[in-house]
Amino acid sequence: DTEVTQTPKHLVMGMTNKKSLKCEQHMGHRAMYWYKQKAKKPPELMFVYSYEKLSINESVPSRFSPECPNSSLLNLHLHALQPEDSALYLCASSQDPTTKAQYFGPGTRLLVL
């Protein structure tokens, strides 16, 4: 299994809603990442989890809250988002934080109304 899976594929939410994005990998990777990608732009790093601990937060607003329940799962909890948060949210994993090749999931396309 060389896949990173993400659910849901699409999500529409209002500014007062609370929702969660999920990411799963069964490659035994110990580093997992959240990225945000706006249209026609490269991905922007949001968070890095290393051995299930948050190691990097790229000054992301607190309305985004990551969680790593175990080594295979990564969640991104969303609350009180703004329309400008609409984007493709990508999860990635790598063997460990020192192994630089990251494998990406298909993403969740989020629309905030």
Partner 1 sequence: GEDVEQSLFLSVREGDSSVINCTYTDSSSTYLYWYKQEPGAGLQLLTYIFSNMDMKQDQRLTVLLNKKDKHLSLRIADTQTGDSAIYFCAESSSSASKIIFGSGTRLSIRP
Footprint on this chain of partner 1 (rule: CB under 8 A): 4, 6, 31, 40-43, 45, 48, 50, 55-56, 90, 92, 97-98, 100-107, 109
Q: How far is the C-alpha of 47 from the C-alpha of 2, rounded, in Å?
A: 22
Q: How far is the C-alpha of 97 from the C-alpha of 89, rounded, in Å?
A: 20
Which C-beta is closer to partner 1: that of 6 or that of 85? 6
Which C-beta is closer to partner 1: that of 14 or that of 94? 94
Please report how close the Cβ of residue 64 comes to partner 1 at its closest, in angstroms: 17
Find the angle CA(44)-CA(95)-CA(35) to the nearest 5 degrees.
15
Please report how close the Cβ of residue 80 comes to partner 1 at its closest, in angstroms: 26
Find the angle CA(44)-CA(49)-CA(52) to the nearest 5 degrees.
160
